Amino acid sequence: MDKVNIKINGMSVSVTAGSTILEAAREVGIDIPTLCYMKEMNEIGACRMCVVEVKGARSLVAACVYPVNEGMEIVTNSPKVLQSRKTTLELLLSTHDRNCLSCSRSGKCEFQTLCRELGVEDAAAYDGEKPVYELDETKWLVRDNNKCVLCRRCVAACNDQYVGVIGANGRGIDTHIGCAFEKPLGEVSCIACGQCIVNCPVGALKEKSYTDEVFEAIADPEKVVVVQTAPAVRAGLGEEFGYEMGTNVEGKMVAALRRLGFDKVFDTDFGADLTIMEEAHEFIDRVSNGGTLPMITSCSPGWVKFCEHYYPQLTDHLSTCKSPQNMFGAIVKSYWAEKAGVDPHNIVSVSIMPCTAKKFEITRDDENGAGEDLPDVDYSLTTRELATMIEKVGLNFRNLPDEEFDNPLGEDTGAAVIFGATGGVMEAALRTAADVLEGKSVENVDYKEVRGTEGIKEATYNIAGMDVKVAVASGAKNAAILMDKLAKGEADYHFIEIMGCPGGCVNGGGQPIIPARVKNFTDYKAIRASALYKADEAATLRKSHENPEIIKLYNEFLEKPNSHKAHQLLHTSYVARGKYKD
């Protein structure tokens, strides 16, 4: 790798050629603050927080976009630089809602951290009249423009998702982030992915919280409150309590949920194994009987909503399977309720998901398989909401014992744990499809070509004498690339997995917030995913169809995959959605 020689703060260093001042400084251990910058997503040099002095330059330059060159002399911490950054923060603070104690991001706010580091206590010199904005609430998120610092990271994230329903509206002091024609987010083609939330540096965007409703249900002696947790939650929750990124905290998570008062603590892995049983057999049926190909997975509700909005003519390629969350919910209110002797109307079904789109998914019209008046899932909470609940009741998470999920819908799993990583659904489905088509247990269960955090991955596997061509995409932008190929008749795949969030569920919109100074320089998606692959490697059972509780469920209740009863409970339908609501 080529190097250039420069001076930073009087120190001679050799850094990577072609890097920006921000990257070069980081390379030698100097952290230059940023606010608007997100690597490869929002490199616009607009906020001026990262300004530095460069010898020979007429003014301060933005380190995030200014490239280094041989012999450059840079000062990152001069009085002029520090005062410029402080003034920038004071100007932003003058129009900012300062009710920090009531803000969901207090203590984890990048703007708050910068103000503390640079000694900004007030903005009295710049205070004046400022616009007041009403909250924009949907079923999945809340936008509060009174807290917005106009960094445009949410806009960049939405554009990066190939959705682009938000942007800067107005001019001057009236500039604010909004949708076209000032429509509410719930009336445009937002896909509920939450990537705007996890990229926001302040509390201007947050998930729509339902923790109060869940606490109320737990306190109701007439209710049986059942909770399920998705695979990616155990790989992210620990970050909220000081654990190293990529730590699997499954045992303590289960213990915390019991102490919160949930009557049963189940693992969504069971629902994921069930999804594979239905999805793999649906794929086999389509291949064998001339069904619509390629078949595309339907586990990601953000992706499904994206398809309904932007590619409605291609929804027949979607698997009809519900997501693991809703399959599990339907089984809880039918099979489990019957075995436990509980009236399903008294069950409150709660899910803990790494995803904000799951909040939208549970409101879909065809997500009530256990009965017309029985939604599969009553409340879907994010990983962050679970952390808030744990903190609220005073649980010392790190000191909790490691406990196991409740059975029969918990501990024994097959391939489900890898669902949280991009490529995981594909790999799990292939493990089952290969065994069914080959008519024997195939020894190799690792389909490593579909692993990794690349946006699009392709592979061909010979199964039962047939070359099965597969593709995996994560992030709606990459989904659009595959869908455009499909629309043009150029996608010669048999099976496609698509996840709405880049990197899959480990990077879902409901996961713990990672500050930009970490996010820009860490492969956090791969680190979180590694926790799931380690769990898979350590598992005794690594195929969904070998899960003994899944086998029992079909023998006692569902009969066989894709049976009439299975379709009633576990499958769904799709609708064409417009770009805007009239």
Which pLDDT tens digit goes with each residue over 225-245? 999 999 999 999 999 999 999
112-138 core/surface letters (b: 16 or more CB in 10 A; e: else): bebbeebebeebeeeeeeeeebeebeb
Strands 495-499 and 466-474: parallel
The 8-class DSSP code of residue 348 comes to E
The domain locations on the chain are 3-77, 90-204, 211-570
3-state helix, strand, coil in the chain (%, to 5): 40, 15, 45
Q: Residue 122: pLDDT above 90?
A: no
Average pLDDT (521-533) is: 96
Average pLDDT (74-85) is: 98
Cα–Cα distance between 565 and 403 in angstroms, integer? 34
3-77 classified as CATH 3.40.50.2000: no
Cα–Cα distance between 158 and 191 in angstroms, integer? 10
The helix (H) or strand (E) run that includes residue 198 is helix 195-199
Q: Residue 412: pLDDT above 70?
A: no
Segment 151-186, tens digit of pLDDT: 999 999 999 999 999 999 999 989 999 999 999 999
Please, what's the largest Cα pairwise distance for the chain?
A: 79
How much is the pLDDT for 544?
85
Region of 182 please: left (phi>0), alpha (psi -120 to 50) or beta.
Answer: left
Q: Residue 328: pLDDT above 90?
A: yes
Which of 174, 488, 224 is closest to 336 using CA atoms?
Answer: 224
Q: Residue 32: pLDDT above 70?
A: yes
Cα–Cα distance between 122 and 244 in angstroms, integer? 34
Rounded to 10 degrees, the C-alpha dihedral 315/320/321/323 comes to 30
Query: Does 546 or 205 have the greater pLDDT score?
Result: 205
Contact 291, 285 (CB under 8 A): yes
Cα–Cα distance between 447 and 426 in angstroms, integer? 9
Q: What is the mean pLDDT of the chain?
A: 95
Sign of CA dihedral 228, 541, 303, 324: negative
Fold for the domain defined by 211-570: Rossmann fold (3.40.50)
The helix (H) or strand (E) run that includes residue 530 is helix 524-538
Catalogue the E-assigned strands of 289-386.
295-296, 347-353, 379-382
Give me 164's structure tokens. Answer: 């682009």
Q: Residue 580: pLDDT above 80?
A: no
Sign of CA dihedral 481, 512, 429, 264: negative
Segment 444-486, tens digit of pLDDT: 888 999 999 999 999 999 999 999 999 999 999 999 999 999 9
Contact 397, 252 (CB under 8 A): yes
Query: Does 542 or 92 have the greater pLDDT score?
Result: 92
Catalogue the E-assigned strands of 198-237.
205-207, 224-229
pLDDT-derived band at 372, boundaries 50, 70, 90: confident
Average pLDDT (38-62) is: 97
CATH number of 90-204: 3.30.70.20
Residue type, 526: A
- DSSP assignment string, 113-166: HHHHHTT----GGG---------EE-SSEEE-GGG-----HHHHHHHHTT----
Side-chain half-sphere CA neighbours of 2 within 13 A: 7
How much is the pLDDT for 582?
46
Q: What is the 3-state secondary structure (H, E, C) of 62-90?
A: ECCCCECCCCCEEECCCHHHHHHHHHHHH
Q: Residue 5: pLDDT above 90?
A: yes
